[in-house]
Amino acid sequence: MLSTADALATLLGAAVQIDGEQTLPTLDALNRVLAADVISPLDVPPMNTSSMDGYAVRLADLAHGDRRLPVSQRVPAGHAPQPLAAGTAARIFTGATVPPGADAIVMQEQTESAGNEVTLLHTPKAGEWITQQGADIRRGAVILPAGTRLTPQALGLAASVGCAELHVMRRVKVAVFFTGDELTMPGEPLKPGAIYNSNRFTLRGLLEKLGCDVTDYGIVADKLDATRATLRDAAREHDLILTCGGVSVGEEDHVKPAVEAEGRLSMWQIAMKPGKPLAFGAVRRAPVGTESPASAASATGHATARAETFFIGLPGNPVSSFATFVLFVRPFVLRLAGVRTVTPRALSLRADFTQQKADRRNEFLRARVNAAGGLDLFPNQSSAVLTSTVWGDGLIDNPPNHAISAGETVRFIPFSELLN
């Protein structure tokens, strides 16, 4: 069996960044991936500003102990001040431009004002409460490198240097379908032997949360010709085809022979629990116009990107499907999209439970953080218990053949990392 590390390395090694870029208004670029560096055209702040409401002063005027100064001007934020006249103070507000000649701010709590004069109750140091020009960002600095997935704060950073538009990668196009005559959609009568198709809702939600452009082919009949036809159609316009279940060797499992007939497939047994089986391969694309797949590939130098559509088949049990998605499909999709850092950050937390039985596989245990900062374990770790993924805050990455004792430190991957 493949280790989880080897399986992920193989997937990421095969991923080819998609072609296609577009320019979007910065307001509309949330969760998109930058196609080019964002370089600041200016200093931020673009001038010296006050970080407090108070009074701008010249230190030279305070050298002789005079603490009572006339107020010569008022400087709100967004207004250009006049040079500060010698022997005077300027009333100034947070974020306002410091008048030329002023070299310190005395915050208003350390002053007393009367009429048009102010008495300073504090002797400031040079630069006190002044935010220097370029203190945050220097002109010409790369503030967001290509491959960055744009968070709300990243959009704010881009806007802070005046970027009205951003150059981003197009969305990854993913086709998803499900096989199994036992699958029923919520709202329909549940016949004997049937189950509701929870995986369709989970996987679509996970793909959409990653910002993918998703085409849902729904439930495909358990027939080889129907499965092959769906694969051919999905391969034409998508970067990835994702399925759930149906990739084993049973008589009613048609996904494996269908993918092998339409492309190539590797069946992996991964040393993990839950989620042991995973299928990875590709489906041939129909030639564009008169181009053959080979000539289309040679034009770009990326055969996989033009001649084939990637295929990943997930196990059918709901927790296995969820776990293999967040651990393998998520980083694969992000790499297709051009994201450079795809490894989720893990925490070292205390286990507040004991698990005496060790498994020979790498276990991913559903757990949540308790009020004391330790981890509690969901009592039923079955791959069929989807409740555990809602109850939990993340996965404990437990090495093979390792029993967990209460009080020891374990590696915990929060869902906030795995679902981002």
pLDDT of residue 417: 96
pLDDT of residue 238: 97
Task: Specify the residue for token string 């709901």.
Answer: 318
Contacts 24+ apart (CB under 8 A), 207-210: 207/174, 207/176, 207/242, 207/333, 209/419, 210/31, 210/172, 210/330, 210/333, 210/334, 210/337
Could you read off the pLDDT of 309-367 as tens digits, one per residue?
Answer: 999 999 989 999 999 999 999 999 999 999 999 999 999 999 999 999 999 999 999 99
Could you read off the pLDDT of 202-236 as tens digits, one per residue?
Answer: 999 999 999 999 999 998 888 899 999 999 999 99
Q: Where do the domains of the chain lie, and which CATH numbers do they carry?
A: 4-18+170-336 (3.40.980.10), 22-43+136-169 (3.90.105.10), 49-131 (2.170.190.11), 347-418 (2.40.340.10)
Q: Across the strands, what pairs with 48?
A: none
Q: Residue 111 above 90 pLDDT? A: yes
pLDDT of residue 316: 87
